[in-house]
Amino acid sequence: MTGQHDATTITVEEGTALPEPLGAELSPARRGLWSVERELWAPRVLVARDAQGTATGAALTAGRPHTAYRKVVDIVAADDAIWSALLGAARDDAPRVEDEARPVPIVIHFEEHLAHARLSDRRRALLADLGFAPAERPVPSIPSTRAGDAAEVAAWSWWRDERPERLAPYYGQTTDVTCGAVSSLMALEYLGRGSFGAESLVENRAAEIAFWRRATNLPACEPVGLAVETAKAAAEDELLPELPRVILSATGPVLLEEFSANEPERMLRTDLQLESLRQAEELGLPVERRWIEVAEIADLVRGGAQVLLLIDLTELIADPTPHWVLATDVVDGALIVSDPWVDSPHGETWVDAFALPIPFAGVDLVARWGDPAYRGVVVLPAAPPSSPAAR
């Protein structure tokens, strides 16, 4: 792409290289944003040059494959006019060749690095002029969500057409294994449970780990056990009009692949799942044994349900791991997901995960696990009219 902005030429280059001499006066922390390994995230640098060909500014963007967002990681510019021109170009930039792995973005997130690249009031006004709105602050959890942390960031979002109306308060999992617990807690927080404190990291982590300890199949949370603990938590505060339900295509225990060579460990987890099934039957919690199609998931979410999805992270961040995410809305043919996992070594922050649009084809690709593959979801029914989420 080549564009003209008040005699400034903007071109797009693949990669993350910051043109010289733009980085000469930047802090080491800010220069580091431009040297992170982001190859899977398809990084692009938009470079502004003057009539003599000298670089006067640059913007770095990136985004997960099979998702419909891009993130503006940083903009380095000689003045506000060039900064604004680069932001507008980054907002309007699209893949040169669209394919299933790189759909046209329906949202652009701008990431403000509060410790070493805090915006001036003028640049915040320029963001607003270009249609970007500030996102709600996340719940203190992972470093990029914590006030005063060196990694703290704020988010500004521009949506191409409609904006999601239903987003759960974002919480990033603080351990490698608590994705199921966190996804459920975000759903319950959206319903008004109030498990998380506005500033209390210690109390938030205590809620995260306590829920995981009740729901875990050691170390993963399988669908039935997760649904049982979600139902119990929702019942304490009368948050749902009816019980959650599980839709699971497998007919037996799941998430046992890593224990195939260790029969005692496998049997322990099988027993835990049988106990979860017993509790589900005692509660009257429905467990449907079938493969649910993405179209049905989308219809459930459109109708106000929140859906916990068991996915495979391989296609999204090259990590072959089973994982839980929360779907809360549907926008422009994409499921809007809160993903508790942030791949910080590759430059991700909560901005990559709090309102993550995954087109239906991408959902169909990642919402499965195992060989042969099975699909599992937990459906939380639409909130009653009296709940905070419905008002």
Question: What are the backbone dihedrals phi and psi of residue 335, each rounded to the nearest 5 degrees, phi first?
Answer: -80, 130
Q: How many whole angstroms separate alpha carbon 287 and alpha carbon 275?
A: 14
Q: What is the pLDDT of residues 199-213, one digit of tens each?
A: 789 999 999 999 999
29 against 385, higher pLDDT: 29
Q: What angle do CA 230, 206, 320 make, to 5 degrees?
A: 65
Q: How many whole angstroms separate alpha carbon 232 and alpha carbon 261?
A: 34
Task: Mark 109-128 as b/e (b = at least 16 C-beta within 10 Å).
Answer: bbbbbbeebebeeebbebbe
- For residue 381, whether the previous peptide bond is cis, meaning omega lies within 30 degrees of 0, is no
**Is the pLDDT at 386 greater than 70, yes or no?**
no
| CATH class of segment(s) 2-134 | alpha beta
**Is the pLDDT at 305 greater than 90, yes or no?**
yes
pLDDT at 5: 47
Whole-prediction pTM: 0.94
- Length of the chain, in residues: 391
SS3 for 88? helix
Q: How many whole angstroms separate alpha carbon 40 and alpha carbon 108?
A: 18
All residues at 6 or more sequence positions from 110 whose CB lies less than 8 Å from its CB, including other chains:
71, 72, 87, 127, 132, 155, 156, 157, 158
The residue ranges of every structural domain in the chain are 2-134, 179-390
pLDDT at 198: 67
**Is the pLDDT at 296 greater than 50, yes or no?**
yes
With contact defined as beta carbons under 8 Å apart, do 346 and 37 qualify? yes
Query: Hey, what CATH topology would domain 179-390 get?
Result: Cathepsin B; Chain A (3.90.70)
pLDDT at 195: 83
**Is the pLDDT at 391 greater than 90, yes or no?**
no
pLDDT at 7: 60
| Across 342-361, average pLDDT | 98
| Across 222-245, average pLDDT | 96
Element containing residue 154 per DSSP (H, E): strand 153-159
**Is the pLDDT at 142 greater than 90, yes or no?**
yes
For residue 14, give Cα distances in angstroms to 17, 22, 44, 113. 9, 17, 5, 23
| Across 212-230, average pLDDT | 97
- pLDDT band at residue 95, thresholds of 50, 70 and 90? confident
pLDDT at 1: 42
